[in-house]
Chain A
Amino acid sequence: MSNPQFTHWRLDYDLDQVCWLTLDRAGESSNSLSREVMLELVEIVTELENNHPRGLVLQSGKNKSFIVGADVREFDQVSSVAEAEGFIREVHDVFDRVEALPFPTAVIIEGYCLGGGLELALCFDYRIAANIDQTRLGFPEVRLGIYPGFGGSARSTRQIGGFQAMQIMLTGRMLRAHQAKGLGLVDQLVGPHGGLRWAARRAVLSGKKSRKPGLVARLSNSGTARKFLAGQMRKQTAAKANPAHYPAPFELIDAWEAFGNDPRKMLNEEAVRIAQLINGDTSQGLRRVFRLMEGLKTNGKDSGFKARRVHVIGAGVMGGDIAAWCVLQGLEVTLQDREMKYIEPALKRARKLFARRLKTPDRIAGAVSRLIPDVNGEGAARADVIIEAIFENLEAKQTLFQSLETRAKPGAILATNTSAIPLKEIAAVLENPKRLIGLHFFNPVAKMPLVEVVYDSSTEPEEIDRGSAFCNQINRFPLPVLSSPGFLVNRVLAQYMLKAFQIHRERGIAKEAIDAAAEQFGMPMGPVELADTVGLDVGLGVMNTLGGSDAAADAEVLKSYVDQGKLGKKSGEGFYKWKKGRAEKDRSAAEDINLESLGKELLQPYFEECQACLADEIVKDMDAVDAGMIFGTGFAPFRGGPLHYLEQINKSPEGQEHE
């Protein structure tokens, strides 16, 4: 049999005349379905159609990684809806041909099998997955503002039933191997000590086919079921995402409701709807967010720094949660505070986090064993990273760091989580002040992926890299920020919240209206609710540092709340009354108000401050500002970031009118 050479694929024929098709994308560390890869696939399928092998097995040439999806970078090169639709139909065509190959086909899945990779796998007769920790299957497309467009919406609903398939596509959640097998996405699991190659060979030689979905699964694709379920799905999705901002999941629900029992029609819907979505603002914005995230992750990538042990001083809300997060990432952490009774609450919170995230008792027990209470601070001498998270007092921090400097390992990172005290002042007392950096985490640590890596003019650049590398190691996004009041995120938020207080105080506009206006713009939470969540005492501190003279009146208001013990969410009342972690809002107060124009007013200082930060070179560039505000505050991701949004509206005719 002929064995032509391809750039990204390899065909090998074995003793049984089974064709082993390996995807090993040239020049990339992981496989993604770029145009080039797909064009070669077309040639390969033609070859297989003309010369039937005994069977076909698809596998990845990348170590423990199958196919992570389409090549997102290429989405931006699509210039028109027609072009997008054309490309999608071409992919549909070649995938259809793979599905129609007249001999047994099987696919071996190890590692990430996402999006287009899973869609391609669904074209095969039999799917075998390696039951190892690295294996994940899923459809993350909604996170990029589209939905599975390479046949995924048609094939997954047919394979495992509409209800389960839609859940996976709407949430973008990633399944482990055994979960995928349970749902029927995968037909066979092979353990870590098993032979994938031999399982695939057996499957192909005996012509194994995937099991058809069960009765319940098939019924969920029926007309009446779809109508009912679609309504439920719309409600659930709308609770999490505004259809005006995030159209993709709703497009998927519409398509499935109309055509869920007809795979061919579902394919057609994909081509039409996704071509539209891809060119839309939301998808462009979300793709930008994805790129910004990748950008943040490149910080510190040249540093070889890797930590094994972390020492955290201060077991308060931040310190305790930073310690727990590091433990969750596999590190050993010693947590220090004055007495055991200050550490206990942090340990309790940590255990809850471990139980939620790790689920199985042995992994939870492992995590518990890695979080070590350390009243005497013995861990400081052994740690690779030392993070100070004590109360905001300059003398206390100076004394602490002076002591740490003498005890710490020569190569250890010394970092402070301070939000308010300038780095230079803490570092002033050190023998080697260039060593100190800030690692400013956000609350809650387990949900906010951003860490501001704070430096000043004298900081050793290598320390910034090492700090960034550490952030990547613990799966947080590092953003190098120049030491200055509020750094980036708090500086912008302060102006944003100040404006909200002013509007509320001066014009008597209800706090519910203010929050609703911000949410309508796309913020995850309005400024008043945010102030309550952060804590009015913290807010007061920030106001005093950053607010300037304009803030005097509002600082007074905050102070009066704080003096009354109304600290916000944590004390049960602030601006709002809080019950069971939710603010009690009087929705009627938001009626009769032009939320759109109020929203613009609220966001204006936010944008202006972002521009000021850029001008002051607090961070590297516009992308860094946008990345910081998206990952540090949840700024409407679908808008692609505050500065990007400004750029877009200034480009559009509507925006130019306002000028």
Chain B
Amino acid sequence: MSNQLRRIAVIGGSRIPFCRSNSIYANKTNLDMLSASIQGLVDRFGLDGEQIDEVVAGAVTSHSKDWNLAREALLSTSLSPLTPGITLQQACGTSLQSAMMIGAKIATGQIDCGIAAGADTTSDPPITFGRKFAQRLVKAGAARSGKQRMQAFKGFRPSELKPVLPANGEPRTGMSMGQHCERMVREWNIPREAQDQLAMESHRKAARAYDEGVFDELVMPWGGVTRDNNIRADSNIEKLGKLRTVFSKSPDATLTAGNSTPLTDGAAAVLLASEEWAAAHDLPVQAWLTASRTSAVDFVNDEGLLMAPTVAVSEMLQRTGLSLQDFDYYEIHEAFAAQVLCTLAAWESEDYCRERLGLDAALGSIDRSKMNIHGSSLAVGHPFAATGARIVGNLAQIIANAGSGRGLISVCTAGGMGVAAILEKD
């Protein structure tokens, strides 16, 4: 390996259409969807039988039997079985983080190509027994005699059979993401109308993107579905305004089903490579991955749970010497419309930027017309681990179609982390 760092090429992405949970993908598993999205990449770029240096992928809502998800998923595709699969998970940042790690290995010359992917389904939750009953089963399994087996069930109560569903919230705070976001809304004073407006725009932009054929290369029909079924082309402020709030009964509550992402099933994948590998395989480079940063905030001690991207982006800009305005595109994952608006407000706030980010001045405003130009998670949906790869593939395609440009990616995750990256092309 040489001391020279190489450029990281994003060849392009592929995903299956996303569906609201318990709708059309109700019977599909993470394994089904993840292998379908990787196969989509194989079909798009002619990688049949090809050995990829690494597939790095994961799922947030995962069954224990899927402990080797990435490897098992790729074995069900037509990639060479000599391809290793690494299962990685960082909540909603999963597939963006995978892309970043693959990128780093490409840059250092350790690998020449890699696929970053992610899948999630909340229609197929891993439901288990509670710890007490599970322990009894372990003891019974280890028992050598009938008497010992009986001993394992001493003191058994039927209530122990109550199933444990995966919790959709922060283990440490006992609050859901939405409840945390309501707190952020109070801190940053984000009006309901602004949230609904952002949601509406996301739906309209996504619908228009489908109509213009922008997603034709990115979204491969699968499971009988040809487009994300959450998108509402006719989304409007009046309808959104009528929805009741879902995370709080307080009259000040603002988050609704319309301005929060729905529970979604889906998967996405993206192919990264070195310049040489791309050339050798006759594949054009859509964009270069030139910077990335992961950050975390102290949400346990009252920092906003979903504010970490403000830190990640700030640190990344400092290291690259770019300003917040030096971008043609912004892909900001819409976990909630409110969270996006809090992020933008934070960057515009002198106080926040000086005190929290340690900067001399506010980072400033972004040109909203450059943000999520084809819609984002509020419209297309958010299968947790898939969103990173979706956004990378999306942005790379936008830059490739324009011929050149620079885009900023910002993704917030559960556990108070943030992941940011820059894609660009001259």
Query: Chain A: residues with CB nearer than 8 A to chain B?
Result: 192-193, 308, 330, 332, 360-363, 365-367, 369-370, 378, 382
Contact = CB atoms under 8 A, between A and B. Distances in A.
Given A192-B32, A193-B31, A369-B24, 7 more contacts: A193-B76, A332-B221, A362-B24, A362-B223, A362-B224, A369-B227, A369-B229
8 contacts: A193-B72, A308-B226, A362-B23, A362-B25, A366-B225, A369-B225, A369-B226, A382-B213
B224 A192 contact: no
Nearest to B223: A366
Interface string B71-110: 0100110000000000000000000000000000000000
Interface string B31-42: 110010000000
A29 B122 CA distance: 41
Contacts of A360: 27
B142 interface: no
A382 B223 contact: no
A196 to B, nearest CB: 12
A33 to B, nearest CB: 28
Q: Quick one: which of B24, B35, B221 has the most chain A CB within 10 A?
A: B24
Contacts of A192: 32, 76
A332 B24 contact: no
Contact of B23 (A193, A365, A370): A365
A330 B220 CA distance: 12
Given A192-B76, A362-B27, A369-B24, A382 B225 contact: no
B226 A370 contact: yes
Contacts of A308: 216, 221, 226
Contacts of A367: 224
A362 B226 contact: no
Contacts of B72: 193
Interface residues on B, range: 20 to 34
A515 B229 CA distance: 50
A330 B221 contact: yes
A389 B253 CA distance: 52
A192 B73 CA distance: 10
Given A192-B32, A378-B211, A363 B226 contact: no
B73 to A, nearest CB: 8
A250 to B, nearest CB: 40
Interface in B19-57: 23-27, 31-32, 35
The 9 closest A-B pairs by CB, nearest first: A366-B224, A332-B226, A365-B24, A193-B76, A366-B24, A362-B24, A366-B225, A193-B31, A363-B224
A370 B19 CA distance: 13
Given A193-B76, A362-B27, A332 B227 contact: yes
Contacts of B32: 192-193
Contacts of A378: 211
A382 B211 contact: yes
A313 to B, nearest CB: 18
Contacts of A362: 23-27, 223-224
B-side interface mostly: loop
Contacts of B23: 362, 365
A94 B8 CA distance: 60
A144 B38 CA distance: 42
Nearest to B216: A308
B119 to A, nearest CB: 13
B63 to A, nearest CB: 12
B181 to A, nearest CB: 30
B116 to A, nearest CB: 21
Contacts of B31: 193
Nearest to A381: B211
Nearest to A365: B24
A192 B76 CA distance: 7
Contacts of A361: 26
- The winner among A193, A361, A367 for most chain B CB atoms within 10 A is A193
B219 to A, nearest CB: 11
Nearest to A309: B226
A370 B222 CA distance: 12
Given A369-B225, A369-B229, A382-B211, A193 B24 contact: no
B214 to A, nearest CB: 11
Interface string B207-238: 00001010010000101111101000000000
A361 B223 CA distance: 12
Contacts of A369: 24, 224-227, 229
A340 to B, nearest CB: 13
A330 B213 contact: no
Nearest to B73: A193
Nearest to B229: A369
Contacts of B223: 362, 366
Nearest to A366: B224
A193 B25 contact: no
Contacts of B26: 361-362
Nearest to A358: B224
Nearest to B225: A366
Nearest to B32: A192
B218 to A, nearest CB: 13
Contacts of A193: 31-32, 35, 72, 75-76
B280 to A, nearest CB: 26
A332 B221 CA distance: 9
A363 B28 CA distance: 11
Interface string B339-359: 000000000000000000000
Given A193-B31, A365-B24, A369-B229, A330 B224 contact: yes
B22 to A, nearest CB: 10
Contacts of B211: 378, 382
A361 to B, nearest CB: 8
A362 B20 CA distance: 12
Interface string B154-198: 000000000000000000000000000000000000000000000
B405 to A, nearest CB: 25
Nearest to B212: A382
A378 B32 CA distance: 33
Interface in B302-337: none
A308 B27 CA distance: 25
Contacts of A365: 23-24
A367 B225 CA distance: 7
A480 to B, nearest CB: 29
A135 to B, nearest CB: 16
A193 B32 CA distance: 8
Contacts of A332: 221, 226-227
B28 to A, nearest CB: 8
Contacts of B35: 193
B117 to A, nearest CB: 15
A334 to B, nearest CB: 10
A606 B381 CA distance: 59
Contacts of A382: 211, 213
A193 B226 CA distance: 24
A366 B216 CA distance: 18
A366 B224 CA distance: 5
Contacts of B229: 369
Nearest to A63: B78
Max count, chain A CB within 10 A of own CB: residue among B24, B32, B224, B226:
B224
Among A192, A330, A362: residue with most chain B CB under 10 A: A362
Contacts of B227: 332, 369
A511 to B, nearest CB: 45
Contact of A370 (B25, B75, B76, B224): B224
Contacts of A366: 24, 223-225
Nearest to A378: B211
Nearest to B17: A369
A366 B25 CA distance: 9
A650 to B, nearest CB: 51
Contacts of B75: 193
A586 B35 CA distance: 61
B66 to A, nearest CB: 10
Contacts of B216: 308
A368 B420 CA distance: 38
A360 B27 CA distance: 10
